[in-house]
Amino acid sequence: MTELTTYYQNVKRAVRQNLTLYFAAIIVLMMLTSVLLGPPFSRTVTTAGFTYRVDGWFWEKNWLMYLIILVSGLLAVIRGGAAGVKNFKALRNILYMDCDAERLLCIADEGTRYVPYDVYRNQKQARKVAGRQRRYFEQLYVEALLACGQVGVADLYMKNGWKSKRNTLIYRQLSLNIQAHYAYQEQDAVRYRSIMEQGGRLLKRSTALWARLDWLEGRREQAVERLKTTQPRVPYEQMMFYGMLSDYLDELGQPEEARKYADYVIEHGGTLALRSMVLEKRQTKTAESQSE
* Eight-class DSSP state of 159: I
Degrees, nearest 5: CA angle 211-181-139: 105
> In which element (H, E) is residue 292 found?
none
Rounded distance between C-alpha atoms, residue 212 and residue 215, angstroms: 5
52 SS3 class? strand
Rounded distance between C-alpha atoms, residue 129 and residue 91, angstroms: 17
**150: Cβ–Cβ under 8 A, 6 or more apart, which residues?**
273
pTM metric for this prediction? 0.88
**Long-range Cβ pairs for the range 170-178 (8 Å, 24+):** 170/135, 170/139, 172/200, 173/199, 173/200, 173/202, 173/203, 174/139, 174/142, 174/143, 176/200, 176/203, 177/146, 177/203, 177/209, 178/142, 178/146, 178/151, 178/154
* Eight-class DSSP state of 148: T
**3-state helix vs strand vs coil in the chain, percent to 5:** 75, 5, 20
Q: What is the pLDDT along the chain (292 residues), one digit of tens a residue?
A: 588 999 999 999 999 999 999 999 999 998 888 888 877 776 665 665 566 566 667 777 778 888 999 999 999 999 989 999 899 999 999 999 999 999 999 999 999 999 999 999 899 999 999 999 999 999 999 999 999 999 999 999 999 999 999 999 899 999 999 999 999 999 999 999 999 888 767 777 889 999 999 999 999 999 999 999 999 999 999 999 999 999 999 999 999 999 999 999 999 999 999 999 999 988 887 776 666 6
